[in-house]
Structure 1
């Protein structure tokens, strides 16, 4: 036992030593950060928005589909009401007074009024008289300046309080109409009840379950099975104020059936007033009136649909589990397929659990689902990075040795799979880059050998770093020339863009190099670059004593001839049509069609022109396309373009070639 503990302690010390204090502390910080995000993502900026979206999605999917509710009726001021009464704000109170008197005789269980009587109107005496005569328990909207200062002033609050005193005693009482949306303006929860406010309207109208009196969990929104009928019946308020309508016994009986035994909510369905975003808005695209939200809350309370709250300890346990699974997965050192399956299983569990809970009346508002994912990723990344660092010292030595004669990515692949050293080849579609430093051979005879070595090593190291930084494979060095390719041994979707950007960066690096040579060194020419895409045989070739990872084939020769053609075409970098079209870059301009030296098939060539705007490149391409077809106007336009850009030798050369091209529209290079 003592020996086992000693071995364990030694392993822990060795791990800590291999990690180093800085990496060990960084890993611990990231794990703590991951745990905090996995637990408190509903309080974390940016992450909070994602949590809201996910909650809305599962809330909408879990929302019950219902027939029209037979316990609640909405009596509303709508646009027709406002047009008939000629009043918009405040709404006409004579209509309200007449409607209240009529509804009071129809046997409603309760009446809730989501209309704030906060300023005097000429029809107030009639409304006061109606309120005093009410037999049905009635709840009138109340708001205080302390809890709704953006909507209610202190003087308006005092008027509401005085009005309530004026209608007392009787069956009219105050109720809060305070609703509270989240930071993203989506109303997801029952609002908190600050001290000093009367009960909120749904609580006041049906105080059946005491648990709802202080409930601040999520609102259960319902969706109608019949979209035309809706969740709640809606009757315009002017209907109940129409004496002629109620003079017809059949009509009076029909509307009485809509009220009898129901809780009646009176308020507004007025365009652009008192509208809220809800979790259903993301799926329906519609906002919900505050009156309807009170109806959903009242229906939830009447049906006793009280979601169960998830305790804090359970949220902590879930956060620890999410982080722990990320740590275990990172330490598993699994191959790609089992790792992908395990990750998919964990993602499925994280995705399914919140929907299951929401469907089973557990309140998932505050459940940090996105936080679990972010925490898992942070834990997986931090521990995975630390685990890789532990073995980095051993791999570093081997990779350094292999890197002396193999490209870095090949060395890394061989470290993962030693069988990769076996001699073999395969056909691959690759992007090939050839470079050459103009005049370096002549220069090497004019300066000391030591200076030649210094300059050449600096130049080749710079270009090599560019290739490797862009994910390329260095094939070989031929004097001052660099040969590289993309697409093997690992093919990436953006190999074309990587190769194109690397090729241009190599040209630019050559310009910097030749402008910064030491004093006494003669002028160095520019770096010429060729880029082509095509099929090649790629693999390890040589003998058992020496292996070189290289590419063979016509595409390599084409890239070399493109590089060489720069001199005759007075260009900096030539790209074949195949490479240009597959690169994913739009910065190329066409420079005609040529037959490369030693070839018989014409090839369209392009050159990067990042200094031109897309419109300028498009106009230039149009001129070139027409000039190659020998359109006199286009040839003149091309000549004018060359005259306007006297420093652009490539365009002058193109003018010459278009005037001397063959009947097939191409120019044969010497």
Structure 2
């Protein structure tokens, strides 16, 4: 029914529609696996296109392995740190950020030594008069713009880690999406009071431990606290406050103003760090600064971060470029980006745009997969995926935007694969149905051949030796005239259905059906080495079916006809004929006509199945009896024909006597006529015996039988 077919066809859209809805839902929730894939793509983009190093007034004084070897193991005496800070002030540093927390008193300080060591009174008095190392460092911190670092903690505690700078918020709540910390680990009060800035050293790495973003602000116990990088920059610019612009309705931070610089940020006040490859000239070993072995103007008007790359001090972070880098370098690279105006951003509209891309891309892919073939739909998917990848790469390299091509691509793939598989299954099912239906018009072996050999669907043919089986109903036209047309058609269809099924069972190819006549060819289009034997077996099976069908109809009181069958073998031209409009696969040549003539010869011979010498030659051991040499209409040369014994239906029971009479006829003996008459008297139903007896009685002297008609 048409409505049922429409429902079935439209129901196929349920799979891509459902898949697309699930993909959009998953994309909207953004699970951790998708975030991990997205970050991996962003990291790969940085590896392929890292930030080009640009001149920026940012340097790292590195407490490296060589500095530890020359100066001593960490922690150094605070006097040593004070000297380092003092030298940086003298060198004209714009600001110094200490990526170190001095949470405990210096154990090498005289006062601390007096607590742990018993000394003579004179020595103790001498030590008591020496300056405290922490106070020495505090004096150095007061001498210039220095930002001390502090470590954030999730433990709820009273916090003294506040920047002396003011923070002004414009718009909505600035802390709506900030990472909240309960407390901090800060430096000694004497040092904290001396420093002009305080900044958090902490990072917020992603689930895989990679540091991709650096927060400028944190939520520390309900108050905004800047990072070390932000504080160092503020001190270098001489700014007294931060101006934080936040989106309304809890949208988070939009940007942070530090002095004359406005820094665009993510909603949690972070900046995406676009890393450069390792740059050795970004680092200055601390021992060289202490030894006075640095160029005079190296630090002038530079932001100087003091940190460590020594592995034993455990301040190493995973980088998107692969491997690990010192934590202080993350601050330094972020400052370089800010000062050079190089922004790497993931816009707030990006997640929504990616979900829309998933929906639109998945819809286009679904339409292509449901309406186009496999190659066009795959090309559509590939084109869309390539466009997404290319567009995101252009946005990254040209605009500094981080857009995710993985989510839309995976979404389209999730829609494309099951839809294509479903379409393939449905198409295969339809092909099977068409193949089955087509096989009711064309031989199954021809259908298989054309499927495996599509080039055969071309005009032309080839010479090939084939065997043919022709069948016809004797007097069916007159029977039809006396029968109801509907009944005649039903009887004929049942009969033809059985005959053709037998032909197909023997892997014969249906050459044609003309009314009640059927023509079958063997060894075309697929060559069959035993085509003669197949043809004979097929003819005998058809004969048995025809006899049974005739008996069954007569038992029902329905008039029907006997079947005549001719079998012949010869070389013909097989192929497609007809022209560019329609193909007709068939065989052409004299053997085809001869097989048809042999079928008609049964009427005169009194046989049911008549096969030629050419066919018999390919069937060694087949029990037959010779019929004679036939000269059929249209041929000058006579054909030796035979009747299979299995087709005599028990009438020719005296085979030895028939062979003797036939041999006498071939020898030209006058006794042949009497012998055939005697056989006819014993087997009056054997019409072939009757034919020979009549011929010999009329003066025939050999086995040549002249047939004037078909």
Query: TM-score of the superposition, structure 1-length normalised?
Result: 0.51
For residues 411-560 of structure 1, the aligned pairs below 5 Å read 413=451, 544=585
Task: Identify the residue that residue 288 of structure 1 maps to in structure 2.
Answer: 325
Paired residue for 2:8, among 11, 17, 34? 17
Q: 1:144 to 1:186 in 2, by over 3 A?
A: closer
Q: In the TM superposition, what whole-angstrom CA distance separates every residue of 1:501-543 from its partner, at most 9, and x where no partner exists?
A: xxxxxxxxxxxxxxxxxxxxxxxxxxxxxxxxxxxxxx999x9
Query: Which protein is bigger by CA-based radius of gyration?
Result: 2
Task: Identify the residue that residue 30 of structure 1 maps to in structure 2.
Answer: 19
The root-mean-square deviation of aligned C-alpha atoms, in Å, is 4.4
Task: Identify the residue that residue 200 of structure 1 maps to in structure 2.
Answer: 227
Task: Identify the residue that residue 301 of structure 2 maps to in structure 1.
Answer: 261
Task: Identify the residue that residue 406 of structure 2 maps to in structure 1.
Answer: 370
Task: Identify the residue that residue 140 of structure 1 maps to in structure 2.
Answer: 148
Paired residue for 1:345, among 383, 394, 416? 383
SS at match of 1:295: helix
Q: For 2:150 and 2:461, how far apart are their aligned partners in 1?
A: 84
* Count of equivalent residues: 396
Matched, 1:315 2:354: yes
Question: Higher helix share goes to which structure?
Answer: 1
Task: Identify the residue that residue 77 of structure 1 maps to in structure 2.
Answer: 63
Q: 1:329 to 1:80 in 2, by over 3 A?
A: same
Q: Is the 8 A contact 2:57 2:301 kept in 1?
A: yes
Q: In the TM superposition, what whole-angstrom CA distance separates every residue of 1:271-306 from its partner, at most 9, and x where no partner exists?
A: 26322222222xxxx421111111001111122333
Q: For 1:352 and 1:173, how far apart are their aligned partners in 2?
A: 44
SS at match of 1:260: coil
SS at match of 2:357: helix
How many Å apart are 1:112 and its aligned residue? 0.6
Q: Is the 8 A contact 2:216 2:226 kept in 1?
A: no
Task: Identify the residue that residue 101 of structure 1 maps to in structure 2.
Answer: 86
Q: 1:217 to 1:99 in 2, by over 3 A?
A: closer
Matched, 1:52 2:39: yes
Q: 1:181 to 1:71 in 2, by over 3 A?
A: same
How many Å apart are 1:411 and its aligned residue? 8.0
How many Å apart are 1:72 and its aligned residue? 0.9
Q: For 1:345 and 1:191, how far apart are their aligned partners in 2?
A: 38
Q: In the TM superposition, what whole-angstrom CA distance separates every residue of 1:190-242 from its partner, at most 9, and x where no partner exists?
A: 24844116211111111343445753242121247xx6x54x2x222122333
How many Å apart are 1:357 and its aligned residue? 0.7
Q: For 1:475 and 1:276, how far apart are their aligned partners in 2?
A: 73
Question: Higher strand share goes to which structure?
Answer: 2
Q: 1:412 to 1:137 in 2, by over 3 A?
A: farther
SS at match of 1:269: coil
Q: In the TM superposition, what whole-angstrom CA distance separates every residue of 1:2-55 from its partner, at most 9, and x where no partner exists?
A: xxxxxxxx99985443465xx6554433112233455566x342x444322221
Task: Identify the residue that residue 113 of structure 1 maps to in structure 2.
Answer: 98
Structure 1 gap segments, 5+ residues each:
1-9, 150-156, 426-456, 458-473, 479-538, 547-670
Q: For 2:36 and 2:103, how far apart are their aligned partners in 1?
A: 36
Query: TM-score of the superposition, structure 2-length normalised?
Result: 0.48
SS at match of 1:73: strand
SS at match of 2:290: coil
Task: Identify the residue that residue 621 of structure 1 maps to in structure 2.
Answer: none
Matched, 1:274 2:305: no
Q: Is the 8 A contact 2:216 2:230 kept in 1?
A: no
Q: For 2:404 and 2:49, how far apart are their aligned partners in 1?
A: 18
Higher relative contact order (CA 8 A, sep 6+): 1
Q: For 2:155 and 2:337, how far apart are their aligned partners in 1?
A: 25
Structure 2 gap segments, 5+ residues each:
110-131, 158-181, 234-257, 463-504, 506-525, 531-573, 577-583, 588-710
Q: For 1:375 and 1:412, how far apart are their aligned partners in 2?
A: 39
Q: 1:38 to 1:198 in 2, by over 3 A?
A: closer
SS at match of 1:174: strand
